[in-house]
Structure 1
Amino acid sequence: MSKPNRKRVNLETLRAQRLEAQGTKEIEVLLDDEKFVFPLAAWWPMKVVKQIRALKDGEDDVTRVLALISSEEQVDRLLELGMTLGDFQDIMEAINEDAGVDEGKSNSSSN
């Protein structure tokens, strides 16, 4: 039995609202007529977020993040098709935009 005056959060309801607001859980990346799908940041499991945060600069190649949120096979195929650093940056920018992160820009006001 729940206590009176206790706030209740129904995650399933909030997930449904988030999905409705965003319209999707993933982005599609097209390269050489092949489609690759990556989940948007708001839908990454916290276990994956923890693994990404544990990566150290220079410890692994930059594609490790993509492999953690999707699959090694998908990333290997992108590399076979000649994915460039710019392509990787474009993918990550699209994912970061979803999460409200804009690299190089501050959220603080200078007024």
Structure 2
Amino acid sequence: MSKPNKARYNLETLRKAHADKNGGDAIEFEFEGETFAIAAPGFWPDAAKVALKAGDDIGAATALMGGRYDDFTAKGGRADDVMIVVAAYADEQGIDLGE
């Protein structure tokens, strides 16, 4: 049963505010002359979280890159490189991704 006059949150508005506050919903990085992007924390797909929990860095990197993982690895990129980008972002933002 809902309470009268209770605020209703709009998820799209909350996501936009979160992205604005944290510098966007993606982390861009360059490799071999091409720009790639991964989802920023707070915007990670569930598949990335499941893969990380299972210790599957390749699955996590694939999920975070939203379909560009094959292009990235064709240029010589690795799942560990994606994790390096995530760690650099976390360090720069002063956040602990284990939270």
Aligned residues: 98
**What 5-or-longer segments of structure 1 have no aligned partner?**
none
| CA 1:87–1:44: 2 relative to 1, 3 Å | closer
Residue 100 (structure 1) aligns with: 95
- TM-score normalised according to structure 2 size: 0.66
Question: How do residues 1-111 of structure 1 correspond to structure 2 at under 5 angstroms?
Answer: 2-4=2-4, 6-45=6-45, 47-49=46-48, 51-53=50-52, 55=54, 57=55, 60=56, 62-72=57-67, 74-83=68-77, 87-94=81-88, 96-97=90-91, 100-101=95-96
Task: Provide, for residues 46-66 of structure 1, a one-character-per-residue CA deviation record: whole Å limited to 9, x for no partner.
Answer: x325532553x4xx5x22211
| CA 1:84–1:23: 2 relative to 1, 3 Å | closer
SS at match of 2:42: helix
Larger Rg: 1
| CA 1:50–1:91: 2 relative to 1, 3 Å | closer
Identity, in percent, stands at 25
TM-superposed CA distance for 1:78, in Å, is 2.2
**What 5-or-longer segments of structure 2 have no aligned partner?**
none
- TM-score normalised according to structure 1 size: 0.61
| CA 1:96–1:14: 2 relative to 1, 3 Å | same
